[in-house]
Structure formats: structure tokens, C-alpha cells
Structure 1
Amino acid sequence: MTTVGTPRRVQRRAWLRIFTSGLLLWVLTVAVTFVTGNPNLVPTLVLLGSFLVPVTFVAWAFERRDTGEINAELILNTFITGGVLGVLAASLLEQYLLHPSPGLFFGVGLIEEGVKLVALAWLTRRLHVKSVRDGMILGASVGFGFAAFESAGYAFTALFTEHGLSLMQLVETELLRGLLSPVGHGLWTAILGGVLFSPSTREHFLLSGRLFVAYLGVSLLHALWDSMHQIAMILTLLWTGTAWQYNLLARGYLPQPTETQVRLMTFLDWAGLIVVAVVGVGWLLFEWYRAPRSRPPTAAWRISTGNWATPT
């Protein structure tokens, strides 16, 4: 006999079905591409690998929406439109506003988090009830959309090397970015979305000092994430650098690191990324659990707005 709660439990497994089927298709595409060497399969490989993890996490987040305001159409719109607009705007602004400097990575963080925040606010401006948790989910959707399209670009670029086309490098790039994407763009924009939508259940956005501080905070996390390899390199040189390496640097040459330095640099690089990820996830959880759950809309509100979506 089927219980009343079964459909809900089945619905909550949608993200898992998306991930397992998508992963199987990606592995199958990798195998066939390597066996046949067919270049026509490269776009399929790039798209599957770049979108699998972002789409899975958006589906997982969608199951935890706070009100009936969020539907599949809005999630799809924020993911695709928000992601594309964010990538295009960031590309234009970074091209004309940024130049090589010590603050380059922080500038990238400010621009990319700013364009994602603007895209999120624009695409969700007509929501009648702005729940904090829904804001985090929609922010994650915009961020993961940005990450998916950005990863597709990186994967496509990785295909081309000085020795010709490299499918192995493409696959390695997709694996690395897929593993790291849950603690990147989606996480940072989810935090901003929660702050943008707070306090809960109001009709208009509130541009507050707290939102500005959150924007600077996630931009800093973004900058630290992007610059961690360089930070690890500098720390390794400061701690273990030798006289001949400093002499080469003074003359404008980049010295070859020793095996010990390579190991230390790799450790510091990954340790730094883990610290940034833990801070980001901790911040997200703090915002999520401190947010009040929204009450179901009243019948009068439904009649006045014409919104008859069923709250979850």
C-alpha cells in the first residue's frame, strides 16, 4: 500500500537521479570519444561535464525551497539567463577595467559577484514574497549557472595545447572544476541571495549596509580562492627560498622550485582552498538556519496577486 508521503520522498530523490544518469552519460561520452577520436563528440563532452554538478546542486536546492514562489520556470530562468548575463557582463568589465596588479584577483571578485547579484535582483524583482531561504536557493541557481558556462569555456580552452588537441587535459579540467564547483560561485551567490532577500517575506529589496558588507565578504572569498596558488607560491618562497632563487627573482627570472618546495606549495594551495570553502559553507549554514521559515500565503494574498502556487 502506498503511503501519502511517498511522492514527496520520490521527488526529493530527483537530484540523485539527475546526477547518476548524467555521470553515466559523461563517462560513456568520455570512453567513446577516446576510442573513436571523433571531434564531433567534444561539444557533448564539454557540456555534460560542465553542467552536471551545477544542475545537480540546483535540483537539490530546489527541493528545499521555502515558499510556493519558486517554480521550475524561475529556477531555469535564473540558471540560464542569470548565468549567461553574468558571464557576459563579467567578461566585458574585466576586459576594460582590470589590469595586472596586486589587486587583480580582488577586482575579479568584485566584478563577478557584483554582476551575479545584479542579475539575481533583476530576475527576481517581481516576486511578491521574498523569503531568505528562497533567496539563497535562487542565488545558488544564478551562481551555478555562471559556474557551468564558465567551466564550459575553461574545458574548451583546455582542449588546445601546444602539442595539439588534448582530450585528457579537457577531462582533467572538467573533473577538477566539477569537484570544486559546489564551494565556488553557487555558494558565494547563495550567501548574497539570502542577504538580499532579508528580512524575510517582504515585497521589495532592501539595499542595506549588511548587503554591502556581505558583497565585500564574498568578493574577498572569491579573490582568495582565485589567488590561492599564488599565495601558496609566495609563502613557499618566503619559508624555504634559497639565495640563488632570490638572485634569479631580483634579475627578473622565475626560479625552478625544488621537489620539496613543490610538495609544500601543493599542500598550502589545497589547504588554503579548504579553509576558504569551510568559511563559505559555515557562513551559508549560519544564514540558512538563522532565517525564519516563511508562513504559507493567506487566501487574501493569493486572490490579490493571482498566485495559487502550492507552498512546500
Structure 2
Amino acid sequence: MKRLWLRIFLTGFVLWLATVVVTAWTANSNLVPTVVLIGSFLVPVTFVVWAYGRGRSPVVTVELLFKAFMIGGVLGVLGASLLESWLIRPSLLMYVLVGLIEEGVKLAALVFVTRHVARRFTRDGVVLGATVGFGFAAFESAGYAFNALFTADGLSLTQLVETEVLRGILTPVGHGLWTAIAGGALFAARGRFSAPVLTTYLGVSLLHALWDSMSAIAIAITLVLTGRPWQFELLRIGRLPDVTAWQVHVYTVVNWAGLVVISLVALVWLWGVLSGRGREREILSQ
């Protein structure tokens, strides 16, 4: 069916919007789980359907996609939660460790879900990797949305909706994209953990770490460019200085510019992975 992904997105968006309006109008907290689930899963599911429709493969079945999304996503968030609770402590390396752990558990989940796949092609690895990544993103976003609901002043539907909208906008260039790259490399190596696969894993982990730390990086760059002596003095004695309106604007620009650059690097990298399909076909035809 042509543009099935678009119909899924539009239908889901209308249902989500209607649920938000009715929840706000009636103050019925029983509807909150519906807002969380539709808002968290809509964009990831849409992109999985879009990726699946970009060229059917006998390897990538609907059943395998479902397993990759649900089983891979759940195993990913469970593994990340356990490892991060054991290994992560506040430090300069915290974001690097988070990137290594989350990209590692998603790649392990992809290996588990596709362990019975006999024929492995790069594009199939990209689609299945993206599906695992989007599953991870959906369950993670549901957690963030649920936590955003609770504030010091009580339940906040506004913060929940803002969290879901922001994460929905950023989802296509996050977990799904990074795991798509890793999945393509894994399937290009026929499932073997070769040097290119390890290099790819480290590379996407670095992109992940930079993405998560971009806010801190933007703060540092803003202070270097616009910091006042009195602000540095307050920081030196362990106090947080007030910031100027201009510094807020600089921070916002630097933060979003960094996220755009990281996303473009990942998209170009994915294009490079997919462009290797021609060489793959030549090798198989020999």
C-alpha cells in the first residue's frame, strides 16, 4: 500500500491530539497512559513502516520487524538500565559510557533477534537495526514522558505533551539512525564482529555521547565566548552565576547547531553504508 506510513502517522497523530484535548478538558487521569503510549510510539512505528516500504526483502518479514521492535527494544532498555545503574557515576566520562552501553545493548539485541537469519544483506541490517533502535526509543520516550508528568505542583499534562513533541521531532535522528548504521555494518560482515563492525560501534557510540552531552558542550562554548569575569569567579567558588539574555540565545544556537551537525554526520554515514549495496550485489553475482 502506497504511503502507508503517512496514513499511520496522520491517523495516530489525530488520535493522540484528540486524546490530549479530551484529557485536558475532562481532567480524566485514566487517559494519561493513552497519551503516553500513542505519543511515544507514533513516530518510531511510522519510521519503521517507512523503512520497510523502501524496498521489500524476503528476509525482513513483518514478524521479524515486530520481534525487532518489541523484543529488541525491551531487551535494549532493560540491558541499558541494568548496566548504567552498575557502571555510571557522575564524571567527565559519563556520556561516553552511556553511549557505549546503549549502543552495545541495542547491537546485542539485534544479534539476538536476527540469530536465525541465514542470508544477510546490508540493507536488511539497516532496516532491522533501525527497528531495534526505534523500539528502544519508543520505550525510552514513554519513560521520559511518564516522568515529565510529575512536577512539584502536581500532574502536568503540558510538560508531558512538550516532552513527547520534542522527543518525537528528534527521534528520527537518534537511536534508530545510530543502530541502523551499526546494523548495516553487522550484516555487511555477515554477522561477524569484524574490525569494521567494532569501528562502527565505537563511532555511533561517540555520536550518541556527543548528542547526550551537547547541552553541557553548548554551556561551555557559551561561557568561553561570552563569559564575564564575575561569572567565572562565582563558578570558581562553586556557585551558579546568573546568565544574560544574550547568553541564553547563544546557548540555544550552539546547542541546536551541534545537534544538527551530529545528525548530518550520521545521515551521511548511513548513506555511505547503503551505497555499498552496489558492491555487495557485484560480489554476490560472481
TM-score normalised per structure 2:
0.96
Match of residue 59 from structure 2: 69
Deviations 1:2-26 (A, max 9, x none): xxxxxxxxx2311111101001101
Match of residue 264 from structure 1: 250
Match of residue 81 from structure 2: 91
Q: CA shift at 1:56, angstroms?
A: 0.1
Task: For residue 13 of structure 2, give the secondary structure of its aligned residue in structure 1.
Answer: helix
Q: Distance in 1 between matches of 2:242 and 2:281?
A: 57
Task: For residue 120 of structure 2, give the secondary structure of its aligned residue in structure 1.
Answer: coil
Match of residue 200 from structure 2: 214
Give the one of 275, 278, 281 matched to 2:267: 281
**Counterparts of 1:1-312 in structure 2 under 5 Å?**
11-65=1-55, 67-199=57-189, 204-292=190-278
Instruction: Look up the equivalent residue of 2:219 and give its one-letter code.
Output: M
Instruction: Look up the equivalent residue of 2:209 and give its one-letter code.
Output: A
Deviations 1:263-310 (A, max 9, x none): 000010000000000001111111112223659x9xxxxxxxxxxxxx
Q: CA shift at 1:122, angstroms?
A: 1.0
Q: Is the 8 A contact 1:67 1:134 kept in 2?
A: yes
Q: Is the 8 A contact 1:66 1:294 kept in 2?
A: no
Q: Distance in 2 between matches of 1:81 and 1:109?
A: 20
Which deviates more, 58-67 or 119-128?
58-67
Q: Distance in 1 between matches of 2:158 and 2:126?
A: 35
Q: Is the 8 A contact 1:67 1:294 kept in 2?
A: no
Provide the alpha-carbon RMSD of the alignment. 1.3
Instruction: Look up the equivalent residue of 1:55 and give its one-letter code.
Output: V
Deviations 1:212-246 (A, max 9, x none): 11011000000010010100000101111111111
Q: Is the 8 A contact 1:120 1:142 kept in 2?
A: yes
Q: Indicate the structure with greater helix content.
A: 2
Task: For residue 70 of structure 1, give the secondary structure of its aligned residue in structure 2.
Answer: coil
The list of structure 1 runs, each at least 4 consecutive aligned residues, that deviate by more than 4 angstroms after superposition, is none
Q: Distance in 2 between matches of 1:162 and 1:255?
A: 24
Q: Distance in 2 between matches of 1:274 and 1:41?
A: 35
Q: CA shift at 1:206, angstroms?
A: 1.6
Q: Is the 8 A contact 1:187 1:280 kept in 2?
A: yes
Instruction: Look up the equivalent residue of 2:270 and give its one-letter code.
Output: L
Q: Give % identity.
A: 57
Match of residue 308 from structure 1: none
Deviations 1:106-137 (A, max 9, x none): 10000000000000011101111101000000
Structure 2: 5+ residue stretches without partners = none
Q: Is the 8 A contact 1:131 1:294 kept in 2?
A: no
Q: Is the 8 A contact 1:65 1:134 kept in 2?
A: no
Q: Distance in 2 between matches of 1:73 and 1:66?
A: 14
Q: Distance in 2 between matches of 1:43 and 1:169?
A: 14
Residues 284 and 209 from structure 1, CA distance in 2 versus in 1: closer, same or farther, beyond 3 angstroms? same
Task: For residue 197 of structure 1, give the secondary structure of its aligned residue in structure 2.
Answer: helix
Q: Distance in 1 between matches of 2:250 and 2:169?
A: 22
Q: Distance in 1 between matches of 2:151 and 2:47?
A: 31
TM-score normalised per structure 1:
0.88
Q: Distance in 2 between matches of 1:205 and 1:218?
A: 18
Q: How many residue pairs were aligned?
A: 282
Q: Distance in 2 between matches of 1:251 and 1:291?
A: 56
Q: CA shift at 1:65, angstroms?
A: 4.3
